[in-house]
Amino acid sequence: MPGTTPKAVNSVVRHLLATLLAGSMAFAPLSGAFAQAHDHTMTAQTSSDTAAPAAAPASADAPAVSYHNATIFTLRTGIAEGRMVYIGVGGDIEGKVNPTLMVHEGELVQINLINGEGAEHDIVLDQYAARSAIVVGKNASSTFSFLANKVGEFAYFCSIAGHRAAGMEGLIQVMPGPRSDMDSDMTDIVRDPADLPAPIGQRAPQVVRVDLETVELKGRLDDGTSYVYWTFNRKVPGPMLRARVGDTIEVHIKNAADSVMMHSVDFHAATGPGGGADFTQLAPGEEAVVTFKALKAGIFVYHCATPSVAHHIASGMYGMIVVEPEGGLPQVDREFYVMQGELYTVEPFGTKGEMEMDYDKLISERPEYFLFNGSVGALTKAHPLYANAGETVRIFFGVGGPNYTSSFHVIGEIFDHVYDMGSVTSPPLTGVQTVSVPPGGATMVDFKIDRAGHYVLVDHALSRAERGLAGYLIVDGPREDDIMHSGPAKQ
């Protein structure tokens, strides 16, 4: 597993911590079983109506930990300077011998141990009663986690006889207070999931104007990490567009004058050459108009279709267009817009500074990042989803990709209705746990929230959570113990 510094927590660890903080179980370190991350400008009559984002709930008993991502470090055992040591892997500790691991009070810390040479090793933090499993074979691995609730310097070391004295010892520094935001100067490219146009409902077909601008800009990828994104309307994903079947879609697209690249747009909702891309290949500063008829209702992806198409998509150039059937979609209380993508960088996941695209990784399908709405922490720290208990929620979910299928899942919820493959004219599936969405594909899921709490959006290929892929749905209201509670069943 590649090494990382502060990154998204996997669901198992986070559920363990949430339970711990609720006081319902004693802490136990993870075992070796885990060894082995509005700009919308679509209008009908150039309207700017949008669904208003919900205010953040102020639930007094909501566990604050759900707003935090894990701080993850990877250490590999090895020999350096004639000693047995731990060697840092990835991020700021890459190649460092017995690196000092710096965290902040209140953070959930995950440490990954990789056996680098085949001798017997472990890692112990006796001040936290936390430890890894013992790893014996070369490349054998273990992970464990703990809550950094004590400030100070604490040793980590190998407990195998003689190994600590032989050099296998380092420090964890727990600093007081939360980690400060060092990225205030970075542009937020994340599309707020509540930023989407209002439902169309019942109306006659009409001409709908869409305004898109392709913009290249440096944005925040992660804490201390940036990337030059290629975008539609300065956000990832591009604006969610909305029409009804039978509408005529008139797309005005401009490539910003300060762009370096040519750009275009391909609508999966369109019938015609390149989905519109044949008419919209634009050099910097150029503009074009393309018009198409919305012949089929459904949930569709759009993306840039300028070679290398995979490069343009991976850099953020994808979005979604919803073509409603005649009469509109079933009503719900709240709607959200989420898309998944990958990023292929030269530098490993967790490295600080400005990242660059790695074409070899791109064509070999070896991403460093998996992302919801463009960045690590996009739907956890930056723009969580908010709702209230008793409401019905709809998520329009799509995969820009360019390469990986998503197994979309909301931990703690069951989808009441799934409009498989984005079909809104077929009967929906009911009672679904996880839905597969291919790259360039989309779906729509509806569910009623029966109990307040913190729910987690994931791709159930859960290793991707440690590469940035997690989101929060924070629900305020009654806890409804009859649905779930800590402890035995009530008689």
Q: How far is CA 401 from CA 309, 314, 316, 319, 439, in A?
A: 11, 7, 9, 11, 5
pLDDT greater than 90 at residue 108: no
C-alpha 3/C-alpha 113 separation (Å) is 10
335-355 pLDDT, tens digit per residue, is 999 999 999 999 999 888 999
> What is the structure's pLDDT at 480?
78
177 against 338, higher pLDDT: 338
Q: Using 50, 70 and 90 to split pLDDT, how confident is the model at 69?
A: low
433: CB partners within 8 A, 6+ apart: 409, 414, 415
pLDDT tens, residue by residue, 306-325? 999 999 999 999 999 999 99
Binding site for Cu cation, residues? 263, 268, 303-304, 312, 317, 460
Q: Does 128 score more than 50 pLDDT?
A: yes
Residue labelled with tokens 């275009």: 264
Structure token pair of residue 272: 């015609």
421: confidence class by pLDDT, cuts 50, 70, 90: very high
Q: Smallest Cα–Cα separation from 411: which of 14, 8, 57, 6?
A: 14
Q: Which helix (H) or strand (E) segment is 222 a member of?
A: strand 207-222
Residue 432 has pLDDT above 70, yes or no: yes
| 207-222 and 248-255 strand pairing | parallel
Average pLDDT over residues 359-372: 97
pLDDT of residue 415: 98
Report CA-CA distances (Å) from 420 to 87, 300, 335, 374: 46, 12, 17, 24
* CA–CA distance, 238 with 321 (Å, rounded to integer): 10
Residues present in the chain in total: 491
Q: Which residues are annotated as a binding site?
A: 263, 268, 303-304, 312, 317, 460
**CA neighbor of 368 nearest in space, from 389, 395, 347:** 347
Calpha distance 30→11 (Å, rounded) = 13
Residue 65 has pLDDT above 50, yes or no: no
Give domain 184-491's CATH number out of 3.40.720.10, 2.60.120.10, 2.60.40.420, 3.30.230.10: 2.60.40.420
Average pLDDT over residues 428-445: 98
Q: Collapse the DSSP code of 407 into the 3-class scheme (helix H, G, I; strand E, B; otherwise coil) and give the result.
A: strand
pLDDT value of residue 481: 83
Question: 50-64, 102-116, 210-224: lowest mean pLDDT where?
Answer: 50-64
pLDDT at 13: 35
**Structure confidence by residue, pLDDT tens digits, 266-295:** 999 999 999 999 999 999 999 999 999 999
| Residues 36, 353: Cα–Cα separation, whole Å | 29
pLDDT of 162 higher than 60: yes
Give me the mean pLDDT over the 23-49 stretch.
31
Average of per-residue pLDDT across 17-25: 34
Ranges of CATH 2.60.40.420 domains, the chain: 11-22+63-175, 184-491
Q: Is the peptide bond before 367 cis (omega within 30 degrees of 0)?
A: no
Pairwise CA distance, residues 229 & 217, whole Å: 5
Residue with more model confidence, 108 or 437: 437
- Burial environment of residue 74 by CB neighbours within 10 A (0 to 12, 13 to 18, 19 or more): buried
Mean pLDDT of 436-444: 98
Mean pLDDT across the stretch 390-399? Answer: 98
Q: Which residues of 46-56 are buried (b: 16+ CB within 10 A; e: fewer)?
A: eeeebeebbee
Whether 340 and 288 have beta carbons less than 8 Å apart is answered as no
Give CA–CA dist 371/318, Å, rounded: 13
More confident residue, 429 or 44: 429
- For 57-66, 78-87, 167-176, 472-481, which range has the lowest pLDDT when averaged over its residues? 57-66
pLDDT digits (tens, 9 = 90+) for 253-262: 999 999 999 9
- 341-378 b/e with 16+ CB inside 10 Å = b? bbbbbebbbbbeeebebbeebbeeeebbbbbbbbbbbb
Average pLDDT over residues 323-339: 97
- What's the pLDDT band for 127 if we cut at 50, 70, 90? confident
Label residue 452 exposed, middle or buried (CB < 10 Å: 0-12, 13-18, 19+).
buried
Weakest mean pLDDT among 43-47, 85-89, 125-129 = 43-47
Fold of 11-22+63-175: Immunoglobulin-like (2.60.40)
pLDDT above 90 as % of the chain: 72
What's phi and psi for 85, nearest 5 deg? -145, 170
Confidence (pLDDT) at 20: 31
pLDDT confidence of residue 179: 67
pLDDT at 443 over 70: yes
What pLDDT was estimated at residue 58? Answer: 39
The backbone torsions φ and ψ at residue 442, rounded to the nearest 5 degrees and listed phi first, read -155, 165
The answer to whether the CB of 270 falls within 8 A of the CB of 292 is yes
Check the CA dihedral 125-130-133-138 and report its sign.
Answer: negative
Residue 48's pLDDT is 34
Cis before residue 308, ω within 30 degrees of 0? yes
Per-residue pLDDT at 223: 87
Please tell me the distance from the alpha carbon of residue 161 to that of residue 122, in angstroms, as a whole number. Answer: 11
pLDDT for residue 180: 57
What pLDDT, on a 0 to 100 scale, did the predictor assign at position 405? Answer: 98
For residue 199, whether the previous peptide bond is cis, meaning omega lies within 30 degrees of 0, is no
Mean pLDDT across the stretch 245-254? Answer: 98
Q: What are phi and psi of 273, to 5 degrees?
A: -55, 115
- CA-to-CA distance for 465 and 409, rounded, in angstroms? 12
Which amino acid is present at 123?
I
User: In Å, what is the CA distance from 142 to each residue of 276, 360, 404?
Assistant: 50, 30, 26
